[in-house]
Each structure stands twice: as structure tokens, then as C-alpha cells.
Structure 1
Amino acid sequence: MPSKTGFTSVWSREAPAKRTREQPSLSREQIVRAAMELLDTEGMDALSMRKLGARLGSGATSIYWHVANKEELLELVLDEVYGQARIPDPAVTGWRDAAAAFAYGLRSAILEHPWSVTLIGAMPSLGPNALAVGTTLMNAFELAGFTGMTLEYASASLLSYTLGATMPEVSWLNTVGRSSADAEEWMKAIRPQLRVAAADYPKLLARYEDYERIDFSRARHLAFDFGLISILDGLEARLRQT
């Protein structure tokens, strides 16, 4: 039965009983894997129970044995994305390395599954992977010395930076393509228009001209590194102040 909020989580439902003769042979893992493959190749708009059933060679009824609706299926695939953002034990690596591993891991997972940006923050992350990652991240900041609400603020700051830096990157890649050659081709096509549009801003135009010599893939990584290190340095400075 739906909750008062209209949202019911797949993680709050009882797991399917042991397979019986009436139960479809498809497993939850098979369904989630096929759904992610469909999302990776065709995007969020292409996902439907009917299309997923066809991809699995099964009817939608087989899928409904494991999930009540599309929203529950999206919860499952989102938790798989969080599962790729693995964090080492902060007691072993130190809090900064653990926090950085989370940021790099989540960025990598989002870039691999760009459709996930529409889900993060849009629905509660109640799956085992999300909860495990969140707990380890909180442990890292607790080890650093954050307490009370500052523990929440530190974790939220890191997550906000990671998402804020990665989401425009996903949009850029979706526009220009995912190879360096694609990016160079796009910049080559837009360059004459930039010169016209930025004619009254010579300093800005000079910066655009510099971009011609940039390896875009490397530049994106370095930009993320710069921001991440700045965030962690800022959090460390905040600890010293308090």
C-alpha cells in the first residue's frame, strides 16, 4: 500500500520468496543488469517495463514479481551506481583519502551511467550500497574530527561539489561526444562563432584561443582534482578553526 507521501520504497518490501514453480525464473540481478544496459545505451526516456521485458525475452509480468512499478526499478539501478563508488576504510587510509575515493568513485560512476544524474536527489537512496557508502563517508569525517551537525555539513559539502562538478561534465559529453576527437571537432566548428560573439571581450577571447591547445579529457580530470583538493583543504582548515 502506498505511504502518505505517495512513495513506497522497494527496499521496504519483503524480498521475494524462494522461487516456486509459479514464480518467473528471472532474478532481480538479471533485471537490474538488463535495465542498466538499456539505460546506458538508450537513456532514461527509453526505459519501460515492456521494453525491458522484451530485452530479457520475458513478459513484463516476470519483472513485476520483483518490482511493483518503474520507480522501484529506478531505485534498484540507482543503488547499483552507488555500489561503484567504493570507499576504503578511513581508519586505514585516513579521512582525506577515503573522502577523495568517494568523490572520484561517484564521478566515475555517473560518467559511466549519465542517466543517473536525473535520479540522484530526486528519490531517497535507501539501498544497501547507498547506505554503506554513506556510513563509511560519515565515519571518515568523524575520524577527521567533525561532530554533530558539522558531520552532516562536511559530508553534504563533498557530495554537493562532486555532483555540481560532474553534472555539467555529463551535459558537455552528451553534447560534444565522449572522445577527444569529438571534443576537438566540436570546438573547431564553434570557434568562428566564438570569435564573433566574444569580439568585445579580448581577455576572454584569448582564453578561448588557449583552449585550442588543451587535451580536454585531461583538463576535465585536472579541473575536478583542483576543486576536490580545495574542498578538502577547506574542510581541514575549518577543523583547525574549531
Structure 2
Amino acid sequence: MTGKTFSSVWLREPRKATSPGRSREEIVRAAVELLNEEGLSGLSMRKLGAKLSAGATSLYWYVANKDELLELVYDEVWGEMMVPDPDEVGWREAVSVLAHSMRQVILSHPWSAELIGRLPALGPNALHVANEMRGMFKQAGFTGADTDYAIATLTAFIFGMTIPEIAWNAKSGAAQLDVEQMRSMVVQVFERYPHMREGYELSRVEDPRVVREVAFDFGLVSVLDGLERRLPT
């Protein structure tokens, strides 16, 4: 029994533009703009064609289907991430800058969080980030499979901290929550849980965005400290 054939837009050469001013790069830029405005549910070949003043069918010259278009825009997002040279700044600083940049890029394109793990990351930008990240951990002293385990630990932390934040932002933004009313209810809920109430009281005076940024940095430093301790002495 044979499985489903694997395919990717990155496994073939891009087709040349069929008209002046039209290119795959132009289509990708327009798709990213549409996704930033309307999210994944708002993207369709018809809407994209209208945005480009072109018929939806003409877009299929460049991509076979919507999933291939999503592969292209997903890779475009990876191209926005900062990838420092560990030879210049050291492996920990390079990893830290990349981690913060990865978080900010995903937050800037919330729809991209829904594509993580769903699509193959085989584009040049994603492969560049993955290759350089591996080089950072190899420079640190990781070898063999431990290098991949370290990368998996880092990315799990980044995605685990960032994706719920996107989900919360989407929910609270859509519902336009009354902040004071929400805080009053939270205080009531925490009344029987003193440790939770203490933590909430400590954080409620701060800007939530600052709290999340500090929490991310605290966790990142802790992850890197833990990984560093696993290196051979």
C-alpha cells in the first residue's frame, strides 16, 4: 500500500511571470497584506486576484493550490527574522536575538501561528534560519542528536509562549473586554487561592505587554541556562 504523494511548491522551479509587473514575489507580498488584514479565514484566491486586479485562475499559473500559496507566505515570514552571526556575538546572544525576533515576527503576523507544524518549512528563508540556528548550537558545543534536541527545546519554548498570547489577543480584541470589570471578576475568583491572588496583584499594575515580554525573557534565559549546563565541561 502506498501513501499520499508528498508535494511542495519548493520542489519545482518557479514559473516565469505571464504579464509585465506580475510575479510570484508580487503575489506573495499581496497575500501577506491580505492575511495581515483578514487572517487565514479571509484569504482566498478570488480575493487575492481582486487585490491584484487579476483573475483568480491566473494565479494558478504560479501555485497549484491554496496550500502552495500558504507555503510561500509562510516562508516570507521566516525571512523577517534576525539571525546574528554567533562568531561575532557568541552563541547565547545569537540564540537570544533570534528567539526574541521569532516571537515578534509571529506576533506581527498572527495567522502564521496556525501554519506552524501544518506546512513543510522548505523555503529558502526557513531553511536559512534552521541552518544558522543549528550552527549556533554546534558552536556552543552540542553534537549529534543533542543539537536537534536543543533546537526543539528552544522552539517549543518560543511557540509555547507566543501562540497562547496570539490566541488571547484575538479573543480579547474581538470581544473588546471591559478591563476593570474583568479584573474585578478575577479578584473574586482568586479569593480562595492566596498564591494566585498574590501573583495577580503583583502583575496587575504593569502593562500586560511588558509583563509578557519580561516573562518571555525570563523563560528564555532559564532555558539557555539549562541547555548550557548539559554541555560537556
TM-score, structure 1 as length reference: 0.89
Q: CA shift at 1:119, angstroms?
A: 0.3
Contact in 2 for aligned 1:90/1:140 (Cα 8 Å): yes
Pairing 1:34-73 to 2, within 5 Å after superposition: 34-73=30-69
Correspondence for 2:188 among 185, 190, 196 = 196
Contact in 1 for aligned 2:49/2:56 (Cα 8 Å): yes
Equivalent residue, structure 1, for 2:129: 133
Equivalent residue, structure 1, for 2:13: 14
Equivalent residue, structure 1, for 2:4: 5
CA distance in 1, matches of 2:133, 2:195: 41
CA distance in 1, matches of 2:87, 2:34: 38
Equivalent residue, structure 1, for 2:19: 24
CA distance in 1, matches of 2:151, 2:50: 41
For residues 184-211 of structure 1, what are the alpha-carbon distances to aligned partners after superposition, in whole Å with 9 as ceiling and x for unaligned?
x643121222233222223322332333
Correspondence for 1:209 among 190, 201, 207 = 201
Equivalent residue, structure 1, for 2:74: 78
The root-mean-square deviation of aligned C-alpha atoms, in Å, is 1.9
CA distance in 2, matches of 1:227, 1:186: 30
Structure 1 residue runs without a partner (length 5+): none
CA distance in 2, matches of 1:92, 1:187: 45
Q: CA shift at 1:117, angstroms?
A: 0.5
Aligned residues: 230
Equivalent residue, structure 2, for 1:158: 154
For residues 126-162 of structure 1, what are the alpha-carbon distances to aligned partners after superposition, in whole Å with 9 as ceiling and x for unaligned?
0000001111010111111100000110111111111
TM-score, structure 2 as length reference: 0.92
Correspondence for 1:121 among 117, 124, 127 = 117
Contact in 1 for aligned 2:83/2:129 (Cα 8 Å): yes
Where in structure 1 do 4 or more consecutive aligned residues deviate above 6 Å?
Answer: none
Change (3 A) 1:67 1:4: farther
CA distance in 1, matches of 2:14, 2:195: 60
Q: Which moved more, 1:56-65 or 1:66-75?
A: 56-65
Contact in 2 for aligned 1:24/1:62 (Cα 8 Å): no
Name the aligned partner's letter for residue 123 of structure 2. G
Change (3 A) 1:190 1:230: same
Secondary structure (helix, strand or coil) at the match of 2:69 reads: helix
Correspondence for 2:139 among 140, 143, 150 = 143
Q: CA shift at 1:108, angstroms?
A: 0.8
